[in-house]
Structure 1
Amino acid sequence: MNKHFRVAGRLALKLEELGVSVPAVLRRAGLPHDLFQQTRILVSTDGLFALWRAIGEATNDPAIGLKLGTEDRMERFHPSGIAALSTENFGAAVRHMARYKQLTVPEEMLSTIEDGEWSIRFRWLMAVDAEPPVLIEYCFAWLKTIAHRGTGQVITPLRIELMQPRDHVKLLERHFSCPVITGASQNTIVFREQDAHSPFVTRNSELLEMLAPQFDEELKLASQQNSFTELVRGAIQQRLTGNRPTIENIARDLHMSTRTLQRRLQETGSSFQRVLEEARHQMARYYLGNSVLELNEAAYLLGYEDANSFVRAFRSWEGMPPGQWRETRRGNMVQ
């Protein structure tokens, strides 16, 4: 898994067009002053979040994320966006973008269909703090841009669900033409199931055929370069949804025997129990950065039998109980 995000240089151009000082943003974010002059603009998850928090803080415009995520000029689209528009429908475009993220960044684009609703959300795999509101609004606005450009029509979501409160809910509702709910368990944009089948007038099978082999080859190469422990950790985190995964579960998911899994972990100087604890630790920091989750809910999601077991484990990782750690993080974010 790639541990860095590549920031598009044209982000600086659009910020300037919107009257946002790029130097001020970079100073606030604690990023290099020449970041956008670099050939490859790479930042960690912390750096990405700092950048988007700084964008929100550097302007009084509550719609800044929406404006940055709305684009009508095709020449400014990233190649992956152009490839997404070349697919047959909105659902295929989302699948393509999700695959590209899997290839290039420590982020997932997750979509589910249930009871006639199509839900899409973003998950930053190496995040500790909650994702900046401006970033979430940008991501959802970009999805709306792809849907509009691809179909040539206005695709209206059923609703937007946001974890954090907003002072500009009415503005968001006007932009997306749907209800916006805050205090939700996750940040999600919800469409109708049939919206996934909305055909794209921009479909270009010839262009997609030219681009797809390159993306597939890069994905194959990236997969080969992943360390084995990261692969195991990712498989564990996929199963950390209320149950403690066993080594047999993970071996089966990775299509190998339990003995082979143990041997390959030993060759890296690790063990299944160590990787399991690393996965739990990483996810615990992510969950506790989400103020919506109670401690017992986080304990459940991480596969602990009770909250006390979770508290003991967390104290061994961080040197303090989870409640105190959460309050410390909140205090740091306020300062």
Structure 2
Amino acid sequence: MFFAGKFILDIAGFVESQGMSRLKIMEMVGFDEDILEKENALVDYDCISGIFKLIKSELKDPRFGLHMGEQIMLSATSYIDQLMDSCSTVREAFEHAIAYSRLISDSMDCSLEMFDDNFRVNFELNPDWSLCDDYAIIQNLDLALICAKNSLYRLTSKEYFPVELNFFYPKPRKIAEHYRLFNTHLKFNAVVSSIVFNRHILHKSTVNHNHGLLEQLKEEANKILSSLPAENQLITSVKKSILKHITRGSSHISDVADDLYMTTRMLQRRLKAEGLTFKQIQNDIRFQIVRKMKHHGDCNLDEIAYLVGYAESSSFARAFKSWTGSSPGKYFNTSKLQTGKK
């Protein structure tokens, strides 16, 4: 659950150009800039989410991610940019970008889909990242989408607009910036976020390819990938399934086992081998959802209890106390005091 340390430096540099002190970002991170410059420097989701919360309160820019991607070249993506630029065709470049996307972050799983007339780059949220602050998630996605569009221009020296954009989040009140930057059809509340282009673009030659350099870059990139935290595909798949079912009012282990083509007993054994139980993972997700929903203030505790699968508030309160050691009311009142909220 990480972002490249260089991403922090990109954010700090951009907020400085917008009139905000970069020192506020660096103080929150707690690392020196020379440490974040290193290829193996990583920061966790909570750090990035906290930074975006600060940016939201300071700059009040609902389209921060789009503006950042439009105005600066990211150092966090420089390795992937070099890989793409060394490919001979756009298709090869995008395939390499997706294969090495974890050099930037594991917050989204990227994939490439082909259709008769179009190709689509998908951005599926890591289940742990999806439970972080909505503003951070949205800005990160918007940034990824504008970077995908910018990559085509860098590769071909020609501007291509997508034929369609899909966003997981609801339609914002103002979408003029989306239209200005992408000039295409927009769909919101999508199951998976994606950017879609005409398929013929994939066959375009890149302007500065160097296959000799590509092989060298791939070798170095593979070394970096091998040093990154390993993903546990089983745990990730279980979390994705729980999140899918919990929005439908249920997240029983049998439902999750069916999604993973396992029996309930097989799933229990696999999780036990990882030192976990289904209930532990389920309760952790429930707690993260509760924190997120309570932070936004859209629901009271009775409503939240129902939404995370508890028919009675008393059952939810008992469960919450087992997670945190205190009642929901006491926990969130203490949290408000610690963050200075009233």
Question: What amino acid does structure 1 have at the position aligned with 2:123?
Answer: R
Matched residues in 2 for 1:334 and 1:175: separation?
36
Matched residues in 2 for 1:145 and 1:187: separation?
21
Q: Identify which of 154, 174, 177 aligns with 1:171.
A: 177
Deviations 1:201-241 (A, max 9, x none): 14332222112233334444547x55xxx443113234444
CA spacing shift, 1:212–1:231, aligned 2, 3 Å: same
Matched residues in 1 for 2:75 and 2:274: separation?
45
8 Å CA contact 1:163, 1:187 repeated in 2: no
When the two chains are superposed, the root-mean-square deviation of aligned CA atoms in Å is 5.0
CA offset at residue 162 of structure 1?
5.9
- Which residue is equivalent to 1:12? 12
Q: Identify which of 139, 144, 151 aligns with 1:134.
A: 139
- Which residue is equivalent to 1:80? 80
Does residue 223 of structure 2 align to residue 211 of structure 1? no
Q: How high is the TM-score relative to the length of structure 1?
A: 0.66
- 1:69 aligned counterpart, secondary structure: helix
8 Å CA contact 1:237, 1:280 repeated in 2: no
CA offset at residue 97 of structure 1?
3.3
- Which residue is equivalent to 1:43? 43
8 Å CA contact 2:12, 2:25 repeated in 1: no
Identity of aligned residues (%): 15
- 1:7 aligned counterpart, secondary structure: helix
- Between the two proteins, the alignment pairs up a number of residues equal to 312
8 Å CA contact 1:101, 1:107 repeated in 2: no
8 Å CA contact 2:167, 2:192 repeated in 1: yes
8 Å CA contact 1:85, 1:200 repeated in 2: no
Equivalent residue runs for 1:1-335 within 5 Å: 2-3=1-2, 5-8=4-7, 9-25=9-25, 30-32=28-30, 35-39=32-36, 40=38, 42-59=42-59, 64-70=64-70, 78-102=78-102, 105-111=105-111, 113=113, 116=118, 118=120, 120-124=122-126, 125-126=128-129, 127-132=131-136, 133-157=138-162, 158-159=164-165, 161=167, 163-164=169-170, 166=172, 168-181=174-187, 184-185=189-190, 188-192=193-197, 194=199, 197-202=202-207, 203-220=209-226, 222=228, 230-240=232-242, 241-242=244-245, 265-266=271-272, 269-272=275-278, 274-275=280-281, 278=284, 308=311, 316-317=319-320
Matched residues in 1 for 2:78 and 2:314: separation?
44
CA offset at residue 77 of structure 1?
5.4
CA offset at residue 80 of structure 1?
1.9
CA offset at residue 164 of structure 1?
4.5
The 10-residue stretch of structure 1 (63-72 or 41-50) with the greater mean CA deviation from structure 2: 63-72
CA spacing shift, 1:315–1:78, aligned 2, 3 Å: farther
Matched residues in 1 for 2:109 and 2:122: separation?
7
- 1:105 aligned counterpart, secondary structure: coil
8 Å CA contact 2:237, 2:260 repeated in 1: no
Matched residues in 1 for 2:180 and 2:11: separation?
24
Matched residues in 1 for 2:260 and 2:105: separation?
25
Matched residues in 2 for 1:311 and 1:145: separation?
52
Matched residues in 2 for 1:313 and 1:11: separation?
39
- 2:134 aligned counterpart, secondary structure: coil
Deviations 1:120-140 (A, max 9, x none): 335243433214343333222
- 1:120 aligned counterpart, secondary structure: strand
